[in-house]
């Protein structure tokens, strides 16, 4: 094996430059160098797509969207396995797909796909492609919001006619992509998930809140497109354990429920959690992505008190004062102690930060674990 700096060598004649999705192509010099050499920049998902012809016959489900894609991906994978079908979970969740053993014939690869991964993929023809929603995020990597939405749309542009397209249409950009799929001659492939559908979620303990109703509807449509029967789908929904740090029920102490939603790193992803519980003691803050919490307003009526932490603590406290009681807690440990002391039986203490974690923690998982530890320390 020869190791060399791709920015120093002549790239002419190479089949491609494989980069991590974390490499910002709008800023990194490798993008211009590869373009000048006429060499495509690809990622691991494109390598998987190119290898599919050599794998035993299988299907691929690809899931994208700004919020909810990890839960929906894991839910689809769980339902498929509940139905007795071999499946692999990969992409932007779990182990890289290239690091896993190939499935036997009839298996299903379930891939969570970020916009960054789609940007590096050109030949992934998903048997079922899912778009949950599009809201502003990652705009430091794109020329604007329209470019970010166009990245998501490419998942469907790579599909063959006859392959299922499951699309949430609650926001205008997603609804427009659904329209584009329909007018391209694929209206029969389209399964639209409309907002506000009322469902009985009482039998799905890990799928509470209106956002999880939408996630469940998308998963149901995807699994139906794979030919999975209703009984297996129902059983999968009922037995789905949920994902760590995503509205994770940590404990119930003295009648108070403690919920870890550390994965909610922007205001849009916090809103559903606020709406899922009737009386909430809300712990929020960290490294803010924006200086607004307006996206959370639909859940304000559920909040008993807010407890702000981290770098954004002062900003968020000033935004919320006048809307609800606010305490400047500073640290997560202090916020948990105070919220637990104030909460009444039937209340929920919710960590849903609406922020990145990098001011006080190495990542959202470390923040979620710190919340668990603080709850356990309450005794």
So which residues are the catalytic ones? 69, 92, 138
Provide the CB-side half-sphere exposure for 179 (13 A, CA).
7
Residue 207: closest CA among 79, 373, 295? 79
Q: Is 318 annotated as a binding residue?
A: no
Q: Is 70 annotated as a binding residue?
A: yes
Residue 300: closest CA among 328, 330, 279? 279
Q: Is 235 annotated as a binding residue?
A: no
Residue 303: closest CA among 257, 337, 266, 350? 350
Sheet holding 58-64, edge to edge: 87-91, 107-112, 58-64, 128-131, 164-168, 190-193
How far does Cα 6 stand from its chain's mean position?
32
Tell me how crowded residue 14 is: count the other CB atoms within 10 A of its CB. Answer: 15
Q: Is 66 annotated as a binding residue?
A: yes
CA distance 123 to 159: 9
Burial letters 314-338, b for 16+ CB under 10 A, else e: ebbbebbeeeeebbbbbebebbbbb
152 vs 45, 128, 183, 227, 337, CA distance in Å? 15, 14, 18, 25, 41
Q: Is 230 annotated as a binding residue?
A: no
Q: Is 13 annotated as a binding residue?
A: no
CA distance 24 to 4: 20
- Asked if 89 and 108 count as a contact pair (C-beta separation under 8 A), the reply is no
What are the tokens at 128? 């079922």
What are the tokens at 92? 């932007």
Q: Is 305 annotated as a binding residue?
A: no
Question: Which segments are annotated as binding site?
Answer: 65-71
Binding residues for ATP: 65-71
């Amino acid at each position: 094996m020869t190791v060399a700096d791709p920015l120093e060598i002549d790239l002419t004649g190479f089949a491609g430059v494989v980069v991590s999705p974390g490499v910002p192509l709008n800023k990194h010099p490798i993008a211009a160098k590869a373009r000048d050499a006429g060499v495509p920049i690809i990622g691991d998902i494109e390598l998987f797509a190119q290898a599919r012809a050599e794998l035993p016959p299988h299907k691929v489900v690809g899931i994208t969207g700004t919020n909810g894609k990890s839960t929906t991906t894991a839910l689809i994978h769980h339902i498929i396995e509940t139905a007795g079908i071999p499946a692999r979970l990969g992409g932007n969740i779990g182990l890289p797909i290239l690091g896993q053993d190939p499935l036997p014939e009839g298996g299903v690869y379930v891939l969570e796909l970020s916009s960054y991964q789609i940007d590096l993929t050109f030949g992934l023809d998903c048997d079922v492609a899912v778009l949950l929603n599009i809201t502003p995020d990652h705009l430091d990597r794109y020329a604007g919001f329209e470019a970010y939405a166009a990245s998501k749309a490419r998942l469907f542009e790579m599909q063959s006619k006859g392959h299922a397209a499951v699309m949430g249409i609650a926001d205008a950009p997603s609804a427009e992509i659904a329209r584009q799929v329909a007018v391209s001659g694929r209206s029969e492939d389209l399964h639209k998930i409309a907002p506000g559908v009322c469902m009985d979620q009482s039998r799905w303990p890990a799928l509470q809140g209106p956002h999880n109703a939408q996630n469940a509807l998308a998963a149901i449509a995807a699994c139906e497109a794979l030919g999975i029967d209703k009984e297996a789908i129902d059983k999968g929904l009922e037995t789905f354990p949920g994902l760590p740090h995503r509205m994770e029920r940590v404990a119930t102490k003295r009648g108070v429920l403690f919920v870890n939603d550390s994965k909610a790193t922007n205001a849009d992803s916090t809103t559903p959690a606020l709406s899922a519980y009737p009386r909430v003691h809300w712990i929020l803050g960290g490294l803010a992505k924006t200086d607004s919490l307006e996206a959370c307003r639909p859940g304000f009526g559920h909040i008993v008190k807010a407890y702000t932490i981290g770098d954004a603590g002062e900003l968020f406290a000033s935004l919320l004062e006048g809307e609800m009681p606010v305490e400047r807690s500073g640290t997560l440990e202090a916020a948990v102690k105070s919220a637990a002391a104030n909460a009444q039986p039937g209340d929920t203490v919710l960590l849903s930060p609406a922020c990145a974690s990098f001011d006080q923690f190495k990542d959202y998982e470390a923040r979620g674990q710190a919340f668990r530890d603080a709850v356990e320390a309450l005794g």
